[in-house]
Chain A
Amino acid sequence: MIESFVDIFNTSSKYVIPILLAVIPFYALVFKKVKVYEVFVEGAQDGFKIAIQIIPFLVAILVAIGMFRASGALEILISFISPILNAIGFPAENVLLAIMRPLSGGGSFGLLSDLVDKYGPDSLIAKIAATMFGSTETTFYVLAVYFGSVGIKKVRHALIAGLIADIVGIFSAVYICRFLFG
């Protein structure tokens, strides 16, 4: 039963991106009379901008983590924490990302790129990392921007609730990926 579910999932997941690419422009053109080509180009220009904007973050994080790994420090850190993490089934390689995620979007994207680059996009570690990245937010940043914009100083339970959501999201990412791709 469970295995067949995973099979169905893996077969049907192949269609997610192709269907999105086919259905969105079709729907927009036929039902909404959107000027598909012009709008596409307008949106696509953002791809260029965002890619350029993330370069400084990527340089900072990839250099720091690259040096950290080459010095052997990352290995020492991982060998320290992995016994505890193995007990709960959490891959030690994903820990830095989990800690960085609520603090910095650029930084955690840098760590995600590092893991994808080191282990390959088809590895379990990269899939867990991508799921973590996609299913949580930079809580501190969102809180600072949104509360800051209206001058709220006492945030009450918003921070704790946000962090609880992050922790649940991070652990869910690990266990869901282990179940689906493990």
Chain B
Amino acid sequence: MILISVIIGSITGNIDEVTQAAIDSAKLAVELAIGLIGIMALWLGMMKIAEESGLIQSIAKIIRPLVVWLFPEVPPDHPAMGAIILNMAANILGLGNAATPLGLKAMQELQELNPQKDTATNAMCTFLALNTSSVTLILPATVVGLMGINANQIFLSTILATTMSTIAAIIAVKSLEKSQRFAIQSPNKCEEIEEDRLISK
């Protein structure tokens, strides 16, 4: 990208501007980041209070039935289910720092249930699709910092957009897991079960 800029800048005679832009942008980057500290500190402080007051657990209770329905392969009382629910609750609250360790825990527990250790299970794919679609109610601190007072409006638009992407993720993952192309390939029992399931569908 920088190489293209220098070449095109030379052709169009903008090479001085290109140099100036490099210097100005580097300066701007630091100014921007420093400017974010205040709002981000405020926001992350608030979110820490939310975390300490058990908001993750409250959200977890609300979403539990939905999550149990989304993961028919995982027994509802298995530790994997608990980790999945807590990870999603943390994501909903925009608590990325709290969500990642819970997500890794959920993957470990799901791996316990996995008969074929190098291949993802349906539950794992569903879990990751939901994670990448970013179910969220609260904006990341960086976005609040950058948008300032306009962040108010971004809350609703983000909730709506993320709802759409989450629905898309669920539909995609649930229809793709039945597709022959993504079936688990291995000459063991696992495949037979998978095939039986495909035939019965």
Do A and B assemble together?
A: yes
Chain A residues engaging chain B, CB cutoff 8 angstroms: 9-10, 13-17, 20-21, 24-25, 27-28, 31-32, 34, 36, 39-48, 50-52, 54-55, 58-59, 61-73, 76, 102, 109-110, 112-113, 116-117, 121-122, 126-127, 130-139, 142-143, 145-147, 149-158, 160-162, 164-169, 172-173, 176-177, 180-181
Give the number of residues in B that approach A within 8 Å (Cβ atoms): 103
Write out, one digit per residue, whether chain B residues 28-68 have a CB within 8 A of any chain A CB (1) or not (0). 11101110111111111111111111100000000000000
Are B146 and A116 in contact, with the CB atoms below 8 A? Answer: yes
Interfacial chain A residues near B26, Cβ < 8 Å? 59, 62-63
Chain B residues engaging chain A, CB cutoff 8 angstroms: 1-2, 4-6, 8-9, 12, 14-15, 17-18, 20-22, 24-26, 28-30, 32-34, 36-54, 97, 100, 103-104, 107-108, 110-111, 117-120, 124-125, 127-129, 131-134, 136, 138-158, 160-162, 164-169, 172-173, 176-177, 179, 182, 184-185
- Among A68, A121, A135, max chain B CB count under 10 A is at A135
Can you report 10 A-B residue pairs in the complex whose CB atoms are below 8 A from each other? A17-B144, A43-B44, A58-B29, A63-B26, A122-B150, A130-B150, A135-B162, A142-B131, A157-B176, A168-B168
Partner of A70, one of B9, B124, B132: B9
SS of A interface (majority):
helix
Question: Contacts A162-B128, A165-B168; is A109 near B54 (CB within 8 Å)?
Answer: no
